[in-house]
Amino acid sequence: MSANPRRCLTIVLAAGEGVRMRSARPKVLHELAGRSMLAHTLSAVLEGAAGDVVVVVGPDRDSVAAEALKVAPGAKIVVQPERQGTADAVLAARGQIAQGYDDILVTYADIPLIKPATLAALGAELAQGADVVALGFEAADPAGYGRLIERGGRLMAIREHKDASAEERASRLCNAGPLAFSGTEALKLLDAVKPDNAQREYYLTDIVEIADTRGLVARALIADETEVMGVNDRAQLAAAEAALQDRLRRRAMAEGATLIAPETVFLAFDARIGHDVLIEPHVVIGPGVRIEDGALIRAFSHLEGARVAGGASVGPFARLRPGADIAANARIGNFVEIKQAMIEEGAKINHLTYIGDARVGANANIGAGTITCNYDGFAKHKTDIGAGAFIGSNSALVAPVTIGDGAYIGSGSVITESVEADALAVARGRQETKAGWAKAFRARRKKG
């Protein structure tokens, strides 16, 4: 580490109204891969732009502030009282900017796919002598985007599409949004921005041309178009989700997992998938899931907040809810739901079963149609099933109840009391057979 590390302040703009989302939820709180756009952006900032963080929010946006502090507890929250443009939003952090930082980075909460390395590269350009650095991209279709105007390798201005000349519009080098600038020049540049445009707003992009006219050094840094895609409506949100899912799938496969049909598998941002994991088509892996080396996730399964140990198999058509902990070599079969339960090594729960608030001991066998009745309308209660126990099909275990090691439960039983180890419990009405009853019943019905 350098003896004199540069002090950096990153300002994250999160005050936009997001009108085009047509939503009661603030735009930046809409989610990608199980995490808000704001959280994605802040995570990249914390990793790539080490230093202090300010998040600019709109009035009455306590939910946005709370989300920011959940991800970045040390962040400073400031409010932009009136939405008068991006430069005005940055100046909501005037007090922080004035504290003598070497570098000021500005990014947007609705550019959620930006990578930490890209933010770090913006800072590196400042360290190498630039006064202003704008992030750009080569657009497949540049229509509507502001253009980065360069001459001789020098960035002269950022021109809005509607204000650009025909020659400038021919360029595909477009403005991505994030900017970095010298801390010593920051307030001088920002205070020079005027609302000389049809919207009468203060545009942050104007500081590039201001810097150029003052003889300062402005440069462009180019990013991949997908990385800097903005999200302003539901269609763009879906496009960003698709791009992020592609990134997450590629990462999982690069780290040693097999996805048979990658395009059908959906992964949360924090999915942890080990080596030699096999994931069949149409699987959803939500937040908080850890799948260890050598596990198998069969088709059409849904996992959230769960752990699956090596050698275990889940599905097809299984649901693991938060707190499901599946030990090595356990089997969770079709149409099985597990919630807040420890399934120990080698246990088998193969068909049409609900296990909630429970422990299933090692090598126990749970028959088809078994349910743990864990909720009495007011509180949850625990079921404890011992190692090697056998639960017959279509049984109901009414919690709180304990089934001892090696015990047998007769099929169709409703168990309301604990069963000792190695015992047999049968709790159902005794079968009675009446010979000829069905024939006589039909005869009576025909006469009547």
- Which of these, 284, 241, 243, 283, lies nearest to 31 by C-alpha position? 241
The kind and range of the H/E element at 262 are: none
* Rounded CA separation 110/31 (Å): 11
**3-state DSSP assignment of residue 394:** coil
What are the residue ranges of helices labelled H in 203-233?
206-213
* Entry field: residues in the chain: 448
Both tokens assigned to 18 = 């997001």
CA 367 to chain centroid, in Å, comes to 35
Which positions ≥6 away from 28 have C-beta within 8 Å? 14, 16, 18, 36, 37, 38, 41, 64, 67, 109, 110
Coil/strand/helix, residue 23: coil
Q: Do residues 336 and 320 touch, judged by C-beta distance below 8 A?
A: no
**Where would I find the H helices in 75-129?**
86-91, 94-97, 116-127
Q: Measured between alpha carbons, how far is 220 from 328 in angstroms, rounded to an integer?
A: 52
DSSP 6: P
User: Left (φ > 0), alpha (ψ -120 to 50) or beta: where does 69 sit?
Assistant: alpha
Q: Which amino acid makes up residue 125?
A: E
For residue 213, count other CB atoms closer than 10 A to its CB: 11
Q: What is the DSSP string of 130-153?
A: -SEEEEEEE-SS-TTS-EEEEETT
Q: Are 131 and 252 in contact (CB under 8 A)?
A: no
β-strand pairing of 132-138 with 173-182: antiparallel
E strand map for 68-125: 76-79, 103-108
392, two tokens: 């017959």
The catalytically annotated residue of 275, 282, 302, 351 is 351
Closest CA to 58 of 20, 32, 37, 84: 84
Task: Please say if 381 is a catalytic residue.
Answer: no
Tokens representing residue 391 in the block = 């639960």
**Cα–Cα–Cα angle for 400, 366, 409, nearest 5°?**
65
Catalytic residues: 351
